[in-house]
A and B are shown apart, each in its own frame.
Chain A
Amino acid sequence: MIWETVILALRAIRRNVLRSFLTVLGIVIGVAAVITMVTLGDGATEQVRADISSLGSNMLQVRPGQGFRGPGGVRMFAERFEISDAQAIEREIAGLQAVAPMTDQSAQAIYGNRNWSTSVMGSTNDYLAVRDWPLEQGRVFTEAELKSGRAVCILGATIVKELFGDQDPLGAFIRLDRLSCQVVGVLASKGQSSFGQDQDDLVMVPIRTLQRRIAGNTDVKAVMVSAMDGVSTETVKGDIERLMRERRRIPVGQDDDFHVRDMQEIVSALTSTTRVLTALLGAVAAVSLLVGGIGIMNIMLVSVTERTREIGTRLAIGARENEVLMQFLIEAVVLSSLGGLFGIALGLGAAALGAHLLGMPFVLNPGIVVLAFVFSASVGVVFGFFPARRAARMDPIEALRHE
């Protein structure tokens, strides 16, 4: 009986394709919006996660000052780090693979008549280990170069392209502001980060070179640390915090004037933004589903009125109240479910296109697809019930007389 009714409902929908389509348009748009947004949101989250794990998932950053603070958070004056802090971490903390102090500042890189504004970063070879960043050609810094702060540099792929074009940069001298510097290596290209930064747009020099010969201070902006495989970053984070509090003589009960960030924290900070956005768009989509449901109710009411004589006939030949109710309810559900299916197809299509255009991964979330379908079907039940009940409660005599 139910199967028969579903077939009858499909037949009724096919008879009036345009009207049926317009009826469910609200549902189609609502479902498509939800599916598109959630799928793109998942894709964005996935991309951020992938980018960050390419930074090195076992990486930690230790920086002076306090971490991300909400509005109103007080940023206290914080004592700067020095190279000795990085050395202390390397010495005192167990389970570390590499520790790299780093500092950077912007500078003009000049070669011949070419000129490029970039960021000069001073660090040690460990920085490349922490970030798992191989060389394309040349070599890393020697111990002697690092210790005495020689004027040597390793170029990012963007700098090579901008200053040298097709020429071989190895052995050439470039100028960084006023310092003349020999190129000893070229980094492999890393491409854009998830924040849209060009990661290859940098010149790397030994940290002492930057401090003494470019910046003129002894500051260390951050210490990059990578834990060994199988060592929990949580443990390492706790150890570093304890060590730094001791070194900086922070009394018990006072907040840290530095912070240790692991990648997990950065991931959750970034994904929470996408999640809020997804939730917001989901709410908008829910409203459009509500509107779609009202559209279905409207058309079902019209349909019940139009088919009054049919209902009268059915009642006269012995249809019970529940049977008529089911007929119209099933029609509404079939209609809204079809809208849901159409919306899912449209949404996935739009998401696939969007992901392609934005260069993001397309992540199919089966949960949301099922949820969207179930939700659109229930819209049919909820908004189809009132018209269906009206049909079922008709007086057969009145209904048969209806013109």
Chain B
Amino acid sequence: MSATTPESIESPLIRLEGITKVYGSGTAAVHALKGVDLKIDKGEFVAVMGPSGSGKSTCMNILGCLDTPTAGAYRFKGADVGVLSRDQRALLRRTFLGFVFQGFNLLSRTSALENVELPLIYRGIPARERHAKARDALKAVGLDGWEYHTPAELSGGQQQRVAIARAMVIEPEVLMADEPTGNLDSTRSREIMDLLCSFNRDRGVTIVMVTHDARMAGYAGRIIRFLDGLIDSEEPGRRHAL
């Protein structure tokens, strides 16, 4: 990464400036983002809300370095992500970002332990160390004893815990969670949220979470609402109020 601006204590972990994203071209062009400015500091827990088509998913994809903006600057730890190649962005993701999806996205017919080991394999970490780290990560999400179960043998809540362990095993700077409780009942959802909060609080991991559910958003420190490709409003979450 070529850092054009040196990282300082004041500079935020994530900074979006005038981000636009246009799909298609000409009259069929869809303006998904129309100039978004956003700062997220290290250690924050941000919930992103908004109706479908409001641009929140597009924004998440850009934040997660899965997509590139049409215009505007995205600085991650002070470095310009816009100039990175596809492979460089992959390296950035495997080093700094953890992902949790609504549909869990675990490899089927593969044990929980192997699922958690996956990002470590791409990092080239030797097998022994990998096993140890994956076990620790599973323990941290309360799944010790379930290492050799495949996703089909686990409940939805347990599967999401495996996914969180997979995201956390690389000790990421940012955890990107896309509707992590979307497929879970309210009890499981609360458990998952408590888990995320504890990682945010105890390990200082920055969390950016998309959700439809205001109760889940309430766990965050800050709630950002998208509307028609722009940030409509920002408000503190419940934790902030407490």
- A and B from one complex: yes
Interface of A toward B, CB cutoff 8 Å = 1, 4, 15, 309-310, 312-323, 396-397, 400
Q: Are B64 and A316 in contact (CB under 8 A)?
A: yes
Please determine whether B91 and A314 come into contact, CB atoms closer than 8 angstroms: no
Interface string of B113-125 (1 = CB under 8 A from A): 0000011011110
Of the residues A316, A319, A323, contact of B99 by C-beta under 8 Å: A316
Q: A316-B99, A320-B91 are in contact. Are A397 and B109 (CB under 8 A)?
A: no
Q: Determine if A321 and B124 form an interchain contact, defined as CB atoms under 8 angstroms apart.
A: no
A319, B90: Cβ atoms closer than 8 Å = yes
Tell me, yes or no, whether B52 is within 8 Å of chain A by CB: no
B1 at the interface (CB under 8 A from A): no
Which residues in window 150-177 of B have CB below 8 A to A?
Answer: 166-167
A317 near B166 with CB under 8 A, answer yes
- Interface core residue of B92, B101, B103, B105 (most chain A CB under 10 Å): B105
B94 close to A (CB within 8 Å): yes
User: Could you tell me if B66 and A397 are in contact, using CB atoms closer than 8 angstroms?
Assistant: yes
Smallest CB–CB gap between B159 and chain A, Å? 13
List chain B residues, Cβ under 8 A from A316.
64, 66, 93, 99, 105
Q: Chain A residues near B94 (CB, 8 Å)? A: 317-319
Chain A's interface: helix, strand, loop or mixed, by majority? helix
B37 at the interface (CB under 8 A from A): no
Please state if B105 and A400 are interface contacts (CB–CB under 8 Å): yes
Q: Is the CB of B105 within 8 A of A313?
A: yes
How far is the CB of B62 from the nearest CB of chain A, in Å? Answer: 10
A322 to B66, CA, bound (A): 17
Separation of A15 and B110 alpha carbons in the complex (Å): 10
Q: Is the CB of A318 within 8 A of B122?
A: yes
Q: Which of A4, A312, A321 contacts B87 (CB 8 A)?
A: A321
Chain B residues lying within 8 Å of A318, measured Cβ to Cβ, are 90-95, 97, 119, 122-123
> In the complex, which of the residues A313, A315, A319, A322 has the most CB atoms of chain B within 10 Å of its own CB atom?
A313
Q: Judge if B107 is at the interface, Cβ distance under 8 Å.
A: yes
Given known contacts A1-B121, A4-B121, A397-B67, A317 and B93 CB-to-CB distance under 8 angstroms:
yes
Residues of B within 8 A of A397 (CB): 61, 66-67
User: Is B240 on the interface with A (CB-CB < 8 A)?
Assistant: no
Is B86 at the interface (CB under 8 A from chain A)? yes
Contact B105 A309 (CB under 8 A): yes
Task: Flag if B124 contacts A1 (CB, 8 Å).
Answer: yes
A400 to B105, CA, bound (A): 8
Q: Determine which of B87, B109, B118, B124 lies in contact with A317 in the assembled complex, contact meaning CB atoms within 8 Å.
A: B118
In the assembled complex, the Cα of A296 lies from the Cα of B217 at a distance in Å of 48
Which of A4, A310, A321, A400 contacts B86 (CB under 8 A)? A321
Residues of B within 8 A of A317 (CB): 93-94, 98-99, 118-119, 122, 166-167
Known: A15-B109, A321-B86. A314 touches B101 (CB 8 A): no
